[in-house]
Amino acid sequence: MDPVVIPILVAAIVVVFLVASTVRIVPQARRYNVERFGRYRRTLQPGLNLVLPVADRINTKLDVREQVYSSDPKPVITADNLVVNIDTVLYYQITDPRAAAYEVADYLQAIDQLTVTTLRNVIGSMDLEGTLTSREEINARLRSVLDDATGKWGIRVNRVEIKAIDPPNTIKEAMEKQMRAERDKRAAILHAEGERQAKILTAEGTKQKDILEAQGTQQAMILRADGEAKAVERVFQAVHRNNADPKILAYKYLETLPHLAKSDNNTFWVIPGELTEAVRAVTSAFSDQSVMGLPPSAPPAEAAATAAAEVAEQAAAVVSDAKAEAEAAGAPQVLGRGQPPGD
């Protein structure tokens, strides 16, 4: 090989090495801290950057995107002396690469320890129930403390979340029993309220039903009474309009009496004293017609006499039957008006 070529190759290699050492390409969302002779010089931004070969070197490469750090469960004692394990999730972002590299040796370990101490301070002032129901308050206090402490480290804490709170197994069993008892209590209360409402609605329905039935019965009785009153009024008007004499009224009286006696509901009734007077009035009416010279064969007179005789026979038969039934049943005998009980 030609002795001239060797120096040229060595020079070319040196130039390539120097160019490669001078040019630094930084990806997006990355930051490189450059030291010159062991001292911080500057932070390289994304893109093409030139450094001094041999004198400058890259110390740390940092990712400035938002990152997630999940810590292991840490035991914490509550105000009522119960040990609970709390697992947290931290969302942070590097805002100053120089401070993150030179202000703290390991920022993740520092954040983890700071989270544990802050949790113990916060949870130590709360009981177990307050710890389980105050996650938002705990998260806000943690974020405030961590953001203040990590600001000088070039780190911004965007969000802190409690992922899990695990009380002891005995406390879990006691809480489950308490919750089951509360559910049973609410179920019993709801069942009792339902039965109460059902009974109230049933009672109201029965009340409305009785009221409506009573109103219906009242209206029926009123209408029936109005009908009977109108019927009596018409009969009364008809009697007065036809100028009926006492003999006709006595005849109608005798005609109605057997119907009253045949009622099934009459177990005790009194024979009015006007019965004999009514029979006498009808008999005298027909006797008067015979005396006045009416022919015996006159059809109206014979019909009236026959009807009067039938009515008298029916009345007597009804009275006899009623007496016989009363004596057979041991009931009180039928009394006529003015007749003493001993006769």
The end-to-end CA distance of the chain, in Å, is 178
CA distance 321 to 326: 9
- What is the spatial distance between Cα 117 and Cα 138, in angstroms, rounded to a whole number? 13
What was the pLDDT predicted at 43?
Answer: 92
Per-residue pLDDT averaged across 105-121, rounded?
A: 88
- Residue % of the chain over a pLDDT of 90: 20
* pLDDT above 70 (res 161): yes
More confident residue, 82 or 96: 96
| Cα–Cα distance for residue pair 211/304, rounded to 1 Å | 53
pLDDT, mean over the chain: 77
In this prediction, residue 201 carries a pLDDT of 92
Task: Kindly report which listed range (95-109, 137-151, 231-245, 268-282) carries the lowest average pLDDT score.
Answer: 268-282
Report the candidate in 319, 290, 316, 318 with the shortest Cα–Cα distance to residue 304.
290
Contact between residue 247 and residue 281 where contact means Cβ atoms under 8 Å apart: yes
Q: Is the pLDDT of residue 65 over 90?
A: yes
Predicted pLDDT at 172: 76
- Confidence bin at 34 (pLDDT 50/70/90): very high
Q: How far is CA 240 from the centre of its chain?
A: 71
pLDDT band at 95 (very low <50, low <70, confident <90, very high): very high
| pLDDT tens digits along 255-309 | 665 655 555 555 555 555 555 555 555 556 555 544 444 444 444 445 445 655 5
Lowest-confidence pick of 2-16, 37-51, 195-209:
2-16
Choose from 154-168, 198-212, 244-258 the range with maximum mean pLDDT.
Answer: 198-212
Q: What is the pLDDT of residue 45?
A: 92
Residue 197 is predicted with a pLDDT of 92
Lowest mean pLDDT among 3-7, 89-93, 300-304: 300-304
Which range among 68-77, 152-161, 193-202, 237-246 shows the weakest confidence by mean pLDDT? 237-246
Q: What is the pLDDT of residue 244?
A: 58
312: Cβ–Cβ under 8 A, 6 or more apart, which residues? 254, 279, 282
Q: Distances from the Cα of 61 to the Cαs of 18, 57, 105, 260, 323, in angstroms?
A: 21, 11, 14, 125, 132
Residue 33 predicted with pLDDT over 90: yes
Ranking 39-43, 83-87, 325-329 by mean pLDDT, the lowest is: 325-329
| 342/136: higher pLDDT | 136
Mean pLDDT of 135-148: 86
- Given this model, what pLDDT does residue 332 score? 43
Closest to 97 in 3D by CA, of 36, 50, 31, 45 = 31
Residue matched to tokens 């039965």: 195
By the 10 Å C-beta count (0-12 exposed, 13-18 middle, 19+ buried), 308 is classed as buried
Q: pLDDT category, 340, cuts 50, 70, 90?
A: very low
- Across 101-135, b (16+ Cβ under 10 Å) vs e yields bbebeebeebbbebbbebbeebbeebebeebeebe
